[in-house]
Amino acid sequence: MSKIFVFGHKNPDTDTICSAIAYAKLKRLKNFDAQAVRLGEINPETEFALKKFGVEIPEEMHIFEGKDVILVDHTEIKQSADDILKANIIEIIDHHNLGDIYTRHPVFVRIEPIGSTSTIIFKMFRESNLDIDNKTAGLLLSGILSDTVILRSVTCTDEDRKIAKKLADQLNLDLEKYGFELKKAKSDILSKTDRELIKSDLKIFNRINMGIGQVEIVEDIDEKRKKTLLEEMKKIRKEIGCDTLLLMLTNIIKQDTELLVVGKTDLVEKAFKTKVENNRVYLKGVMSRKKQVKPAIEDAALL
């Protein structure tokens, strides 16, 4: 039996890393030879979560040609390994829109409109009647709290809430307290360069030829920093060859987003029915790239 590599998207976030580790574990419990790997550097939030539960950082890997792979937390070619179409994809587990990845062979796919891939992995453990050890419980809880912004995002469902509570109870953890510890680890923006901030959670969407990055903050970013961010965004937009590059500055306390925009602004204006001024748009109540920003722009582009 050949080894199966389990991985999430590029610019990995906590849900991508934690769901890959947990799902590789589930596969091993079912006697498959599975290993979680990652496509890039982990962010400080994920590092915090792995340390907290004593879990090692997965190996970084980039060549998958001819290998058996399981994708978690993404279905977009541009967000996956560069040679993903030469790999043998055997399963896909995700909670995003169905993207543009295609396979040569029949494949097991499970996509649910739910707050995190970690939530789906929890359900798969339960459906297989497998116990969830504390390390895995910690990983899954971290994935859920991270992706749902501590159960506050519009993407969060009652199922996410119920499962997060179960996991927190198992671990004897205060859900809110642990959630904010996680987010604090992530929102340390002062220690990062503009380039690091823009690229750390950047996702590229082929169909709208757009890159959308997101930074979670707990207090507002000053004007000077926004200007240097915009300058750097112009360079990065050219490098990645997209028409437009957006950066969501999402304040998780106020639960709003300021959108920085470089490139073609018309789609953004059409999507949000507002003018882009000084390369910015203020979006009250918007926190989710997946559910609020990307679909609005896609509708504006394609309808």
Binding site residues, Mn ion, CB under 5 A? 15, 73, 117, 147
Nearer to Mn ion, 73 or 258 (CB): 73
User: Looking at beta carbons only, is 95 or 226 nearer to Mn ion?
Assistant: 95
- Give 146 or 279: the residue with its C-beta nearer to Mn ion: 146
* DSSP states of the chain: ---EEEE--SS--HHHHHHHHHHHHHHHHTT--EEEEESSPPPHHHHHHHHHTT-PPPEE----TT-EEEEES---GGGS-TTGGGSEEEEEEESS---S---SS--EEEE-SSS-HHHHHHHHHHHTT----HHHHHHHHHHHHHHTTTTTSTT--HHHHHHHHHHHHHHT--HHHHHHHHHHHHT--TTS-HHHHHHHTEEEEGGGTEEEEEEEESSPPPHHHHHHHHHHHHHHHHHHT-SEEEEEEEETTTTEEEEEEEE--HHHHHHHTS--BTTEEEEET---IIIIIHHHHHHHHH-
What's the min distance (Å) between Cβ of 15 and Mn ion?
Answer: 3
* CB 73 to Mn ion: min, Å: 4
Q: Which is nearer to Mn ion, 94 or 194 (CB)?
A: 94
> Closest separation between CB of residue 196 and Mn ion, Å?
21
- Which CB sits closer to Mn ion, 19 or 257? 19
Min dist. Cβ of residue 269 to Mn ion (A): 29
Minimal distance, residue 229 CB to Mn ion, in Å: 24
